[in-house]
Structure 1
Amino acid sequence: MYQDRDLKIRFSANLPQSWAGQDELTGKTDSALFGDTQAAVISIAKREVLASGQPEKLEILRDMDQDRHWFMLHIDPDFDADGNVVGVLTTILDIDDVKYRETILKTLLRELSHRSKNLLAIIQSIASQTARYSEDLDGFLVAFRSRIQSMAHSQDLVTASDWRGAELFALVESQLEPLVGQNSARFGMSGEDAYLFPNAALHLGLALHELTVDSLAKGALGPAGGAIELSSEQIAGDGNGPELVVTWTETFASAPESNGADGAKPGFSGTVLGRIVPQALSASVRHETTRDRMIYQLTIPNSQFELHLRR
């Protein structure tokens, strides 16, 4: 579109069919194309080009007739033989796709920032709690690295799903395999698989890690011998929708070392299993140990999962 020094339109071509044609635009200003409000902004940019002789770019939202679209205006000066600026040539490009991608990217970056802060808060908590219950630096480093690796396995599943979450049984396998290998004869899973949302996947993964480490140290996967069954079942909730009951049951071949009458485990593991994970998942917890078995059970509200498939 070409305009003279008074910004009167003298020529236009290749405008969208829904816009006014060249015959209607000749002699008019940008108001005929963009409306008075946006035309005032455009006019300032074009008069700057007329004064300086330097090209300008301008993003503008055209919202005439309820038809909202973003455009990029490339405004170039037109010189006469003596080097005087006698008009401006404007190339108008539709940038709706670019603006849409920018909006999506900004949303993703805000979400990434939010989730990164959550992860850092969890890591900070793990570091401080691990240090609290460690007897020396070497012990702290071994336990802390193991717990961070556990989080990394859960995070890999969440990331692979584009941050939608992780399948329960896949999460369990990701936590046990590094510690006990694949297809352990002492471990089985049954019941209803579920799709855990990101927060639930990260925290439940941490609980599964602590349960596995404890079992290797003194439970069914270690000196006590026996077997473990992880089961999941959907039950009717208390009016706020269904709930998922996830139960870790260790059946001992011989009585393990006592952890107290209530079965609560001391140290960081007890804090994770009894307080951190239930609070993060808004879940109720049952944790009991007898001479022949240990049960750790979480009843998880439907705000943390959706039913996925039956195994």
Structure 2
Amino acid sequence: MEGWGWQGVHDPERLPAVMAEWQSAIDGGKPFEMVFPLRGADGLFRPFLTRIVPLRDGSGAIARWFGTNTEIGAQVRAEDALAATTAQYEVLTEAMPQMVWSTLPDGFHDYYNAQWYEFTGVPRGSTDGEAWSGMFHPEDQERAWARWRHSLATGEPYEIEYRLRHRSGDYRWTLGRALPVRDADGAIIRWIGTCTDIDEAKRIAEQNELLGRELSHRIKNIFAVIGGLIGLSARRVPEAAAFARDLAGRVTSLARAHDFARPHSEESKPSVEPMSLLGMLRELMRPYPALDDGRITISGDDAVVDDRGATPLALLFHELATNASKYGALSVDDGRVDIAAAAAGDEVHIRWQESGGPAVAGEPSRTGFGTQLASLSITGQLGGRIARDWRPEGLCVEIEVRRDRLSRR
């Protein structure tokens, strides 16, 4: 294809632009580079990258031009796909109600969606790089930086609550989360993160916590008053002193069980050192005379429990024992409850079996709030499973939880 015959493989619509660029390169003696379609032997046009450079003689005059044509169809398709993906990403992030941001693998922030600028009120681009840290409350900056550096170093998901400066100048509680994006080899190529305004939810939770503490304090005071009345009565009736001491001990145990069973926040949770599962169950059952009578048995494999698992389990077993005392096996002198724990690999299975009590006609038509709450504590807080079987001889409850959800160890 000598001379100017090469023009025959060009797209007629693009050829004038190609010729103009080529003539400009000839006139200026400059390298030529351009992407345009060329027709193949099959009659189809495909994109090519064409590069042409001048070869000069000793005097500097152009003696010849050398060029290459490289088919770049796959590259163009990949770039088009990337552009489409980028456009979809931008549409998605702009449509989200949350603040969305992304960073390079080293943590350099290079993107924020419109919600970020709407919330913060700062000019676009002003929080790129490391400037974003200035948006945190001064008391939260060091903690947020430490958590972010840890995620960058380990690749672990980033999650933290901090106070972010609002456009009003106030600081609002925000939940920050980020996950790494990895390539086919597992290397992190980007971090995608969100910020969610949780200020209102945080304040409601604080109010609920305050109310919960006040209610718990009043209940503890009631237990203390009952204990004092028992002691006062025992002094007036010396022959009942032994009975009074036993009753006061059970009231004290009931107060401890209440502290385990009520919902807690990070601030109000009981300072529970790692303890055994079976030991905790015995502590919860201590207020009930049937334990001393041998009509409550606790056996099987033990497991480590701390405050992470103690409160949800205590809530459930406190509810089971209370209902058994009012309606089930512990409401009669001959009734019994057998609690058995079995560990199998990463799972811990606990069975509550009542027997010897009033005959069970079947599952109740109505489920009480306490029972619902106790069930949610197992499925929600511990991610476990719970099943109730209303057998004629007595209620049987099966609980399964992962061992690592019972404690942080």
Query: What TM-score results when the alignment is normalised by the length of structure 1?
Result: 0.44
Identify which of structures 1 and 2 has the higher relative contact order when contacts are C-alpha pairs closer than 8 Å and 6+ apart: 1
User: Taking structure 2 as the reference length, what is the TM-score of the superposition?
Assistant: 0.34
